[in-house]
Structure 1
Amino acid sequence: MKKNKLLLATAILAMTLGMASMSQNVKAEGGVSTGSILNVKKTFSSYNDIEVLMPNATFTFKIQADTVKNGEKDKKSGLDIKTGIMGEGLVDQIVTYTNDSKPVDKEKNVNFDFSKVEFPNVGIYRYKVSEEKGNVAGVRYDDKTWTVDVYVVSENGNFIPKYIISTTTENDKKPIVFDNEFTTTSLIVKKQVLGNSGDKTEGFDFTLLLKENSLFEKGKQVSLIKITSDQKEEKVKVTIGEKYDFKLKDGEQVKLDKLPIGINYQVNEKDANTNGYTTTAAILEGNGTSQSYTLDSLKETDLSIDTITVTNKRDTQVPTGVVGTLAPFAVLSIVAIGGVIYITKRKKA
């Protein structure tokens, strides 16, 4: 009797999922796959700009047994839904990206293999798959949890996984996809010249250093745009770990609008506070208030845009000793002129 029930359950299962398995090779997006392999896709769907630097990062995907209520059954097949059984092949899967990854590399795949799991009977074994939340700056992790049902049947005296169905929390059958995003930020450096003797045509020497770290390696490059006072743009590459030299006149700026989040930078004016200039720097973060920035100090990028304005001010005044030095000569000149006038009048008389 027990054997007959087992055969009946297997037959019902095959009939229930037969059509799904027949169409699996043609329509994989249905979220139903045949066999023992569960595929998981990882992507950054919004990553389309080749100039944006991908961080060095790993992403971990976990599979766990999902607890179900005792006596829960699948309405269509009548099979028992059971808590998943863990085993060899159901270990964490890791996806790796590097600074060399480009938009063409954004999609990656990993597999969970149920073939070596020892199932005790036919039925539907339920699991859940999720992405482990990491701490890479600027990355948004996918917080979806997928429900995975493994349909186990009896073949040649063994209980084997025959079909795998993955669903979202909305119970919609779909292939498992984890879609992440990462955000860039901007750094702007502006030059301002003030004072009655400030030379607005003079180019001042600057350096910019992007510091390498575990996320962004030395030697990798990001784009920089120099905007001149007449709004002409010049595009160059800045190398991480190497100082970049540039000149700015009054009203000019450089802009890194695809700068990674989580990288440290230093901005410096080489000849600050020389040639009679007083040099100050201020930083505006996002829409906040401006505050003092110490030239050549380290600052880490975050979601807010950093705008650094470096001001050189020079005022020239008449030296205070000039008036006092000329005064005696002025008095003597007046006396001399008066004497000439007096003598002239005497002669005429």
Structure 2
Amino acid sequence: MTDTLVRPPFDPELEAALTVLREQLPATFTPDLIPVLRANPLTDPEALQARMAALGLTRRDVIIPGYLGDDIVVTVIAKERHTGTGPGIYHTHGGGMIIGGRMDGVEGFFSAIDRHDAVLVSVEYRLAPEFPDPYPVEDCYAGLVWTAAHADELGVDPARILIGGGSAGGGLSAGTALLARDRQGPALFGQLLMCPMLDDRDATVSTQQIDGIGVWDRGSNVTGWTALLGDRRGSDDVSIYAAPARATDLSGLPSTYIDCGSAEVFRDEDVAYATKLWEAGVQAELHVWAGGFHGFEMVPHATVSRAATAARESWLDRILGS
């Protein structure tokens, strides 16, 4: 490998939007920017609440025991008229392991909640570097255990819980699914991994291609993984639950959906994870969207963004409607 690998081109509509995004986001997320990024929430709470009200969705916050019994919060979102038992969606938010909160990314599931009368539980796992591995994934697992244990009162069928998240949340969903498998924990019937952050080793072609460009470049990725793992990043002392790309046996995992862009750091590790799932006999669907940078659906009007959303909604309809 060289440091000057040619990357796939950005989709023209997305590349035009990148010019605007560059005025709002740094090219590389460095450790000193973490407090600044946390001070600027990714989601507008008032706009989100208005969207929920328009769809007839309610929310409530619950304090539950997280890793080591410490208090963490989950938010439960459901239709106002939810009755009986429906599918459950357990959500782990993105943010590179260092930023974000439990309401970031939930809107992507609103239409599925509406169509399938699903109940969503989103977990406020603790962030690195203040709470390094294993806090984030163990908090996520604790929230999943709570969700399954309280399925009756939530109106959730415990045999139909789906886990999902984007970016770091995708990696945490994958790690939580591995924990659930290995600890004989809650049985998941699907995992939705959107551009998941899976590999701490900084060794793929795509991580070298996306350096100083796009959104969440190689330097940002190193920042996130170092915050989570410290000096262990890239060493042999990293668990498969922190970095699921390190897992050699993916058997026994639930039906999986993975997507990413062709021009993002996570492309190669996501494709490799899908391949490992197929090798293990797991049903998996993979989409690599041409010209997509990381999180490209933040440009919702772009044709490729609309196609990616439609494909994901189709998968959700198939699995939640089964």
Q: TM-score range by the shorter chain?
A: under 0.3
TM-score by length of 1: 0.18
Larger C-alpha radius of gyration, 1 or 2? 1
Which structure has the highest helix share of the two?
2
